[in-house]
Amino acid sequence: MTTTMPTTWTKDAIFEALGLTDMNSGVSDGAFFPHPGGPELVSEIPATGERLASVQQGDDADYDAMMATATKAFETWRMMPAPLRGEIVRQLGDAFRQHKEPLGALISLEMGKIYSEGLGEVQEMIDICDFAVGLSRQLYGLSMHSERPGHRMYEQWHPLGPVAVISAFNFPMAVWAWNAMLAAVCGDVTVWKPSSKVPLCAVAVQKITDEIMARHALKGIFTLIVGRGKDVGERINNDPRIPLISFTGSGRMGRHVGECAAKRFGRTILELGGNNAIIVMDDANLDLALRAIAFGAAGTAGQRCTTTRRLFLQKGIAKQLLERLVKAYGTLPMGDPLEPGTLIGPLIDAGAVKDFEAAVARAVDEGGTVLAGGKAVAGPGHFVQPTIIHCPKQLAITCEETFAPILYVMEFDQLDEAIEVHNAVPQGLSSAIFTTNLLSAERFLGPNGSDCGIANVNIGTSGAEIGGAFGGEKETGGGRESGSDAWKAYMRRQTCTINHSTSLPLAQGVKFDI
């Protein structure tokens, strides 16, 4: 394992470039609160276990003050023409572009993904800004033909209100941007509660955002509160002023947030855990499959919602592909995520390492055989070996998401059989098939094929583009974010009928003459 320090970005250089300090306020309603009332939160560097910096969390009073600014800001923001809102989002995108490198480096430092992926995450923020700018002129409603003479019918989309974004640790910036940029052009204001494991990333993004908004004398459009789930999280879950919560995180927490919101008729966009699989057919291009599997399963140290966790190999190619995969796993450079050349960074914390160890032990207990990795790495930081476990069949553990680089491999004879096992898990996020046979590809994409929100052919499960709607089925939560028509979730639909005649005919021919 390589342990040398980064050659390019140091912690000091990142802090200087982003205006961060050793102790940062974690609450902003457009301007950072000088003294939030919540407890201090220490953020750690997962690659070393060292302290990174502290963030002062918000308390109840801070939440109320922030919400007061946000709800007031909504009154004016919703009246601004959408293309003008889009122009402000364009400027945000430019600001993220200017800060792309230090932001990417901060993601690597605080979350632990490799620098290239950190940069990719910031690029995703920039891309979604561009997408949202175009969208600001395309918030289309339909018009319908009325059955009544002299009547016109159409639907229009109005802003919804303050939207809460509760984000997971593994995409500490992009998840906010996916939601906040669309919400902004739709006329909503956003309240962001980031994961307590990566608060500094949120503070850095908020600082840049505040600066752009201040240029327009706008406050409260994008607000931030770092706080504990049981305090701030629960306030959001149960706040009737928040018509929509976009929650990204574990299935367990998402279920709770969904139940709280449903009780008050609030809406949710739930982006929860995945248990993604790749099916490789005998006729597949194995070079492509190999790279996609390695990136999907070991990349980001297995900490993507779209990480490849199960691999189904048709028996004709199983042995040779597995041998190549095990060999490739042996060469993956592990170490400091900021160091060029590193491909495998650390897990987020010691708890994640324990979960990894427990899952490997359970898999072996249930009949699996470890072919590569399987162990935590001793020393500073939270590193584990990327792991391949051969399983005789679907096991109880392979139906669960463990947020670590563990790949369960199973073999099959016929595609029908593989698809059945593929779908026999509670989650339904991302899926892929490698084949050069059109019939197999279409079988996989058909109504009785993959039951996931994302289904790919000859590319892996990981690394979606922002242009498509992103999300999954079943216990993944059913939410959709980002591209396509995902914007509709951030608005309320209004159906309007206008009578421009001099009579009042009733629909369905009903008579009620007085």
Q: Indicate which residue of 186, 201, 260, 305 is catalytic.
A: 305
> Is residue 127 involved in binding ligand NAD (CB under 6 A)?
no
Query: Are the C-beta atoms of residues 204 and 53 closer than 8 Å to each other?
Result: no
Quickly list H helices, 399-448.
415-423, 438-445
> Is residue 401 involved in binding ligand NAD (CB under 6 A)?
yes
Dig out the tokens for 56 from the structure.
């002062």
Positions in 268-287 near ligand NAD (CB under 6 A):
271-274
Distance CA 468, CA 454 (A): 9
Q: Looking at the chain, how many residues does it have? A: 514
- Interface with ligand NAD (CB under 6 A), residue from 15, 312, 403, 408: 403
CA torsion sign for 237, 471, 222, 492 is negative
> Is residue 131 involved in binding ligand NAD (CB under 6 A)?
no
- Interface with ligand NAD (CB under 6 A), residue from 249, 258, 299, 345: 249
The values of phi and psi at residue 371, to 5°, are -100, -25
Nearer to ligand NAD, 203 or 253 (CB): 253
Positions in 74-103 near ligand NAD (CB under 6 A):
none
What b/e readout covers 224-252, taking b as 16+ CB neighbours within 10 angstroms? bbbbbbebbbebbbebeebbbbbbbbebe
Nearer to ligand NAD, 41 or 129 (CB): 41
Nearer to ligand NAD, 151 or 256 (CB): 256
- Interface with ligand NAD (CB under 6 A), residue from 37, 120, 141, 229: 229
> Is residue 168 involved in binding ligand NAD (CB under 6 A)?
yes
Nearer to ligand NAD, 87 or 357 (CB): 357
The β-bridge partners of 163 are 190, 244
Query: Are the C-beta atoms of residues 225 and 233 closer than 8 Å to each other?
Result: no
Query: Are the C-beta atoms of residues 346 and 46 closer than 8 Å to each other?
Result: yes
Positions in 448-477 near ligand NAD (CB under 6 A):
472, 476
Query: Are the C-beta atoms of residues 406 and 389 closer than 8 Å to each other?
Result: yes
Listed ranges 17-25, 63-71, 232-240, 412-420: which one lies at the site for ligand NAD (CB under 6 A): 232-240
3-state SS string for 150-189: CEEEEEEEEECCEEEEECCCCCCCHHHHHHHHHHHHCCCE
Distance CA 243, CA 67 (A): 13
Q: Indicate which residue of 121, 271, 401, 475 is catalytic.
A: 271
The values of phi and psi at residue 299, to 5°, are -60, 150
Distance CA 427, CA 429 (A): 6
Distance CA 165, CA 180 (A): 8
Verify whether residue 496 is a known catalytic residue. no
The values of phi and psi at residue 56, to 5°, are -85, 120
Contacts with ligand NAD by CB under 6 A: the residue count is 30
Cβ-closest position to ligand NAD = 229
> Is residue 248 involved in binding ligand NAD (CB under 6 A)?
yes
Listed ranges 16-24, 61-69, 188-196, 213-221: which one lies at the site for ligand NAD (CB under 6 A): 188-196
Rounded least distance, CB 231 to ligand NAD, Å: 9
Listed ranges 111-119, 137-145, 228-236, 327-335: which one lies at the site for ligand NAD (CB under 6 A): 228-236
Verify whether residue 75 is a known catalytic residue. no
> Is residue 112 involved in binding ligand NAD (CB under 6 A)?
no
Query: Are the C-beta atoms of residues 387 and 399 closer than 8 Å to each other?
Result: no
> Is residue 169 involved in binding ligand NAD (CB under 6 A)?
yes
Rounded least distance, CB 383 to ligand NAD, Å: 18
Listed ranges 217-225, 226-234, 330-338, 392-400: which one lies at the site for ligand NAD (CB under 6 A): 226-234
Distance CA 386, CA 294 (A): 9
Rounded least distance, CB 22 to ligand NAD, Å: 23
Read off the DSSP letter of residue 399: G
> Is residue 28 involved in binding ligand NAD (CB under 6 A)?
no
Distance CA 278, CA 310 (A): 7
| Nearest by Cα to 348 from 404, 291, 275 | 404
> Is residue 234 involved in binding ligand NAD (CB under 6 A)?
yes
> Is residue 429 involved in binding ligand NAD (CB under 6 A)?
yes
Distance CA 335, CA 346 (A): 7
Rounded least distance, CB 459 to ligand NAD, Å: 18
Listed ranges 14-22, 64-72, 165-173, 318-326: which one lies at the site for ligand NAD (CB under 6 A): 165-173
> Is residue 257 involved in binding ligand NAD (CB under 6 A)?
yes
Q: Which residues are catalytic?
A: 271, 305
Binding site for ligand NAD (CB under 6 A): 166-171, 193-196, 229-230, 233-234, 237, 248-250, 253, 257, 271-274, 305, 401, 403, 429, 472, 476
